[in-house]
Amino acid sequence: MGVLAVGEEPTPIVWYIPMAKKLHETEERAKRALLVSISDRGKGGRGESPDEAETPDGRELRGLAETLELEIAGHEIVRIRERNPRFGMGTGKAEEIAEKAKEIEADCLVFDWDPSPSQQRNWETLAGVPVIDRQELIIRIFAERAATREADLQVQLAQLNYHLPRLTHKYIDLSRQRGGRYGTKGSGETLLETDRRKIEQRIHRLEREIEQVIRQRRVQRRQRERQGVPVCAIVGYTNAGKSSLLNALTGASVLVEDKLFATLDATTRRFEPIPGMPALLTDTVGFIRRLPHSLIKAFRSTLEEASHASLLIHVLDISDPEIDEYFRTTAAVLGELGAGEIPVVTVLNKTDRLDAAQRDAVLESGRFPGSLAVSVRDGVGLRELKTLLAEKLKDIDSLKNRPQANKSWMDGETYS
């Protein structure tokens, strides 16, 4: 699908998406991106600091850009004390970055923060290249990953909600035209109002269609509940191996890629942890730091699958140096979705990437009580995982009641 699909509208709405063509033209050369991050530490200066460029946010920005198949031409770290309203930093530093983009022949600037619409316009005017903020970067990735009608509807809604407040500045010059004999509104202003109304109407239609999907999910959920089959939801940071675990436990063939947000849809499959104990296993969309609010709102029906589960399987990449941060991020998102009190089994995946000493150091640290180390790739630990899941599901009625006396799993408590 394109960057923004407006469906049945007679005229495609693309005038407020500066990179619609530039990112998706078919060319031999990959699009070059200059990444720009802001650090509130220090008294100014710029340049790529090894310490700061390799922070979790810095690596994550690179991963997002590479997932969108952008070539990383450079990564600028700007250290500031206070943010200037025009560019989000001082004019001098903004001009230096714009000059740097020209020197390295960057096709776009990718920001690790969310500039206001006016700041985005100022940057595009200054640098002469399109600007993508972190929020739009993630939305674009979601747009390319949408493979079902439900995901497509949710992505469209997120795109429209993101771009709606960014319409005005595209019409500044037109709105100065004063058409008509009696000083009525100019043609540009009228066009803006018309296009805004069309987008708002499209948003309302998408919301109604998504609501229909939500109702269908509720019907399916009630049918499962009547059958008394417990549901296990696989949750965790994106690219931790959730889909791989689903495939390994159920024999499914869900898409698996070493990329962020390889799958967007909640996929449910039947499996038996032990013979004679049927259960349903659901793979949910991956989490990420600072997940855009527009995506949380649009994908709420998909994300909320976790809040209706009997048991959560929290998958972590044991080889990732930011495993503790990812653990906290997932816990925070689950809390927002009302799933923070659901019993959990913590699975430390990708042990094949560590040697025995490194693996044991994580397990013996006590940071993830009751966790189980596995390698989905090699099949190590999967039998033990099934046994553990069976033990957790034996008393499914008590799990469904979710006693208030139990503490959150973030408090270090384990459930039996």
Which CATH number covers residue 93?
Answer: 3.40.50.11060
Does some domain include residue 144?
no
Question: Which residue, of 90, 114, 132, is where some domain finishes?
Answer: 132
The answer to whether residue 23 scores a pLDDT higher than 50 is: no
Question: Which residue, of 101, 132, 163, is where some domain finishes?
Answer: 132
Per DSSP, the three-state class of 62 is helix
Domain that holds residue 91: 32-132
Give the range among 11-25, 73-87, 135-149, 247-261 with minimum mean pLDDT. Answer: 11-25
Residue 352 confidence (pLDDT): 94
Contact assessment for residue 109 and residue 129, using Cβ atoms and an 8 Å cutoff: yes
Does some domain include residue 188?
no
Residue range 115-163, pLDDT digits in tens: 888 899 999 999 999 999 988 998 888 888 777 788 888 889 988 988 8
Position of tokens 């109407």? 201
User: What pTM, to 2 d.p., does this model score?
Assistant: 0.73
Does some domain include residue 150?
no
Contact assessment for residue 268 and residue 302, using Cβ atoms and an 8 Å cutoff: no
Position of tokens 């590479």? 66
Residue 258 confidence (pLDDT): 58
Does some domain include residue 198?
no
Question: Which residue, of 81, 102, 132, is where some domain finishes?
Answer: 132
Number of domains observed in the structure of the chain: 2
Average pLDDT, the chain: 77
The answer to whether residue 230 scores a pLDDT higher than 50 is: yes
Position of tokens 């699908």? 1
Residue range 244-300, pLDDT digits in tens: 999 999 887 765 555 566 566 677 888 999 888 889 998 887 888 777 766 777 677
Does some domain include residue 15?
no
Does some domain include residue 66?
yes
| Cα(1)–Cα(314) distance, integer angstroms | 31
The answer to whether residue 363 scores a pLDDT higher than 60 is: yes
Give the CATH number, domain containing residue 377.
3.40.50.300
4 band by pLDDT with thresholds 50, 70 and 90: very low
Residues 317-337 have a mean pLDDT of 89
13 band by pLDDT with thresholds 50, 70 and 90: very low
Rounded to a whole number, what is the largest CA-CA distance in the chain? 82
Stronger pLDDT, 246 or 168, i.e. the higher one: 246
